Amino acid sequence: MSRIGKLPISLPEGVTLEIKAGEAVITGPKGSLSRKIPQRIEIEVKDNSLVVSSKSKTKQGSATFGTTRAHLANMVLGVSQGWKKELELVGTGYRAEVVGSTLVLSVGFSHPVKIEAPENVTFKVEKSIITIEGIDKETVGETAARTRAVRPPEPYKGKGIKYLDEVVRRKAGKAAKTVGAPA
């Protein structure tokens, strides 16, 4: 059995769980999230915490047990604190701005690239840092990945859009190869 699945999920102040028709709806101060719960999984509220348990003892049941618990924990964190990803623009002339709910990137193409914010996701831009915030971890991460994919960092000069904590492995250019070669 999963060790992570056995851990209870504490519900912060103001966060509630409602189970209806095989779907868990978690509501908190930042909003509401819902997810279908597999038939093999049971969810109980005990002492202001969620306890996830599995009805089946199969390998598939054990796998969905831990995954479901992780999804519910992410939902609880999302509706209480929210999720955030930060991206950095590296490159001369690379700019980003927010127009309404759209992120407009000028990253060396002949045209500006526009990225629409999904539901419950917001963009913020300060200097060369793009902040993507929302209550759903999956949507925030996917939006950050789509934004980074517009111009991923290249290994020679490091230009592009990278995660704030990402380390870009740099390569030596053509000049470095010819230094040790005989003329």
pLDDT class of 183 with cuts at 50, 70, 90: low
Average pLDDT over residues 75-79: 95
Output the CA–CA distances (angstroms, integers) from residue 17 to 31, 50, 135, 137, in the order listed.
Answer: 12, 8, 15, 18
So what's the pLDDT on residue 138?
A: 95
Among 3-17, 51-65, 140-154, which is the least confidently predicted range? 51-65
Separation of alpha carbons 126 and 132, rounded Å: 12
Separation of alpha carbons 123 and 135, rounded Å: 13
So what's the pLDDT on residue 126?
A: 95
Handedness of CA 136, 142, 43, 4 (dihedral sign): negative
Domains along the chain?
A: 3-80 (3.90.930.12), 83-163 (3.90.930.12)
Res 110 pLDDT > 80: yes
Among 9-18, 32-41, 57-66, 164-173, which is the least confidently predicted range? 57-66
Average pLDDT over residues 120-142: 95
Query: Would the pTM count as exceeding 0.95?
Result: no
pLDDT class of 88 with cuts at 50, 70, 90: very high
Higher pLDDT: 173 or 107? It is 107
Separation of alpha carbons 3 and 14, rounded Å: 27
